[in-house]
């Protein structure tokens, strides 16, 4: 193991996959000058020995995604970057009608193996146009896979799997992750898409989370432990496909569930989790499922109001106390 930031770990994943497979390339706005929105592509072209495989794109998300769909159908494996998840609605036709459906509609003759990296989530004073968490939108579309890593090691392993995958992958990366440090294996490894992990074992309550919420849930679990509550934390890793078996096994063990995400609570992915738990593990529940998320408002620019929209460890602790009462 070595200590790396999320930015360093995912940069390594890109380098390793581009060296392993000459069909992999990266494209984004300002990817050469500043290395993308988070500087996470700086020096990548030189590192792989071919700067023509790291491509600057015009300020047109529609053009970026459309060209990637065409390149994937022609046999390439593009990794494109949207800078912010809020840029995704600009290219919904290309994502939901072309990328998601082409393999099915062509009877498997054409595969759209592409990765769309999307920094998302609340970061200080970025305003409503740059802070949305839109994973539930894309989990609703058959043909797309939706991956949401939670740490440097998870980011590297999941990104490598996403690049090797034969399906289009929307890869949501919370913007605050890029500076996060953590242990990353030195050896070659991948993390399977669609398999959750038990981030912390517990017996009193299951906390179901993904992405940046995993570290917040683990922080909450430590506080709860001091109060005599044993909380199990499940990191979904991917929300489409999602690991129903691991989630339901945890629910049947603890009988109490909190689902938390930073996305708006209304129609968020937590609703899908809660409904499935209610349908398939109702007899195991000791109390109703509690789900928490952002209020139903655009994320404000004001730091004070912005803080009120974050789903924080204190909110998870409060929700756990509700299901235990």
Could you read off the pLDDT of 304-318 as tens digits, one per residue?
999 999 999 999 999
Catalytic residue among 40, 113, 130, 174: 130
169 pLDDT tier (thresholds 50, 70, 90)? very high
pLDDT at residue 83 tops 90 = no
What Å distances lie between residue 270 and 50, 135, 234, 247, 297, CA to CA? 43, 11, 13, 12, 17
CATH for 2-184 is: 3.40.50.970
Mean pLDDT of 244-263: 98
pLDDT at residue 2 tops 90 = yes
pLDDT at residue 42 tops 90 = yes
Q: Hey, what CATH topology would domain 197-324 get?
A: Rossmann fold (3.40.50)
Phi, psi of 34 (to 5 degrees): -115, 5
Distance (Å, whole) CA 195 – CA 237: 7
pLDDT at residue 38 tops 90 = no
Please tell me the predicted confidence (pLDDT) of residue 35. 87
For the whole model, what pTM was predicted?
0.95
Domain residue ranges in the chain: 2-184, 197-324
Please tell me the predicted confidence (pLDDT) of residue 34. 86
263 pLDDT tier (thresholds 50, 70, 90)? very high
2-184 and 197-324 have identical folds: yes
Please indicate whether residue 140 is annotated as part of the active site.
Answer: no
Distance (Å, whole) CA 302 – CA 86: 19
Please indicate whether residue 130 is annotated as part of the active site.
Answer: yes
Closest to 139 in 3D by CA, of 170, 99, 108? 170
Catalytic residue among 61, 154, 262, 306: 61
């Amino acid at each position: 193991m070595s200590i790396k930031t999320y930015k360093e770990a995912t940069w390594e994943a890109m380098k390793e996959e581009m060296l392993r497979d000459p069909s992999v390339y990266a494209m984004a706005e300002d990817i050469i000058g500043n290395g993308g929105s988070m500087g996470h592509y700086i020096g990548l072209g030189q590192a792989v020995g071919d700067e023509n495989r790291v491509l600057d794109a015009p300020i047109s998300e529609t053009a970026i995604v459309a060209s990637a769909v065409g390149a994937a159908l022609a046999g390439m494996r593009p990794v494109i970057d949207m800078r912010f998840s809020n840029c995704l609605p600009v290219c919904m036709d290309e994502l939901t009608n072309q990328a998601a459906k082409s393999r099915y509609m062509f009877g498997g003759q054409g595969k759209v193996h592409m990765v769309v990296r999307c920094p998302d989530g609340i970061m200080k004073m970025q305003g409503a146009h740059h802070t949305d968490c839109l994973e539930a939108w894309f989990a609703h579309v058959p043909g797309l896979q939706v991956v949401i890593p939670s740490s440097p090691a998870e980011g590297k392993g999941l990104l490598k799997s996403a690049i090797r995958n034969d399906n289009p992958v929307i890869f949501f990366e919370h913007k605050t992750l890029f500076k996060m440090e953590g242990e990353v294996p030195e050896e070659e490894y991948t993390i399977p898409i669609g398999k959750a992990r038990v981030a912390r074992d517990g017996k009193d309550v299951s906390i179901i989370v993904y992405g940046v919420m995993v570290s917040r849930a683990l922080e909450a679990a430590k506080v709860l432990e001091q109060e005599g509550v044993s909380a199990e934390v499940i990191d979904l890793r991917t929300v489409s496909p999602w690991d129903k078996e691991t989630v339901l096994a945890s629910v049947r063990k603890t009988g109490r569930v909190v689902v938390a995400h930073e996305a708006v609570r209304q129609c968020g992915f937590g609703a899908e989790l809660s409904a499935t738990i209610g349908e398939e593990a109702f007899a195991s529940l000791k109390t109703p499922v509690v789900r928490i998320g952002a209020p139903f408002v655009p994320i404000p620019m004001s730091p004070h109001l912005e803080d009120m929209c974050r789903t924080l460890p204190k909110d998870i602790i409060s929700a756990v106390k509700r299901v235990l009462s």
